């Protein structure tokens, strides 16, 4: 199993066997946090597209500006995105987001990592080599 770990003050990422895992470290995602997380992810992916699983259990609020930003080209390095949602309120917020901001890649909510991994594996491709930028 190949694993690389990266983190900044907003988010942490792991790349495990060709899947990008992200975990927010903040409870509020405003435009600044959204841009920091996206810029950092794009530095890590370096133009390669990854299927991704995001854990958002720490997130309690996502501002309108950040939702609009996420629905733009912010996800152009994602092949697909599975979001782990354990909180029913967060799931409602997420479904509301999807109603008005359709991502340009396959996107689904899951209650657990097992089902998310099974689904996201359909989108996994072999990358030429793992990136070692800012490994911690």
Asked if 14 contacts 21 with a C-beta cutoff of 8 angstroms, the reply is yes
pLDDT of residue 130: 47
Two tokens at 55?
Answer: 């854990």
- Least Cα distance to 20 among 40, 99, 69 occurs for 40
Across residues 93-109, what is the average pLDDT? Answer: 76
Helix (H, G, I), strand (E, B), or coil: what is residue 62?
strand
Which pTM was predicted?
0.82
CATH assignment at residue 59: 3.30.750.24
- Least Cα distance to 123 among 94, 93, 88, 80 occurs for 80
> Domain for residue 106, yes or no?
yes
Across residues 2-9, what is the average pLDDT? Answer: 84
pLDDT tens digits, 112-125:
999 999 999 999 87
DSSP structural state of residue 74: G
> Domain for residue 64, yes or no?
yes
> Domain for residue 41, yes or no?
yes
> Domain for residue 115, yes or no?
yes
Across residues 55-74, what is the average pLDDT? Answer: 87
Structural domains of the chain, count: 1
Q: What is the dihedral of CA 54, 57, 62, 67, to 10 degrees?
A: 20
What residues make up the domain containing 26? 3-121
């Amino acid at each position: 199993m190949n694993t690389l770990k990266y983190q900044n003050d907003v988010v942490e990422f792991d790349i495990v066997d060709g899947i990008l895992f992200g975990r927010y470290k903040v409870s509020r995602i405003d435009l600044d946090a959204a841009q920091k997380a996206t810029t950092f992810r794009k530095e890590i992916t370096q133009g390669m597209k990854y299927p991704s699983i995001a854990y958002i259990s720490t997130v309690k609020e996502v501002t309108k500006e950040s939702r609009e930003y996420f629905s733009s080209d912010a996800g152009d390095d994602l092949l697909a995105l599975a979001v782990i949602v354990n909180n029913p309120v967060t799931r409602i917020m997420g479904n509301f987001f999807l109603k008005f901001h359709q991502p340009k890649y396959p996107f689904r909510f899951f209650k657990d990592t097992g089902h998310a991994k099974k689904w996201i594996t359909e989108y996994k491709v072999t990358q030429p080599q793992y990136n070692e930028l800012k490994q911690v």
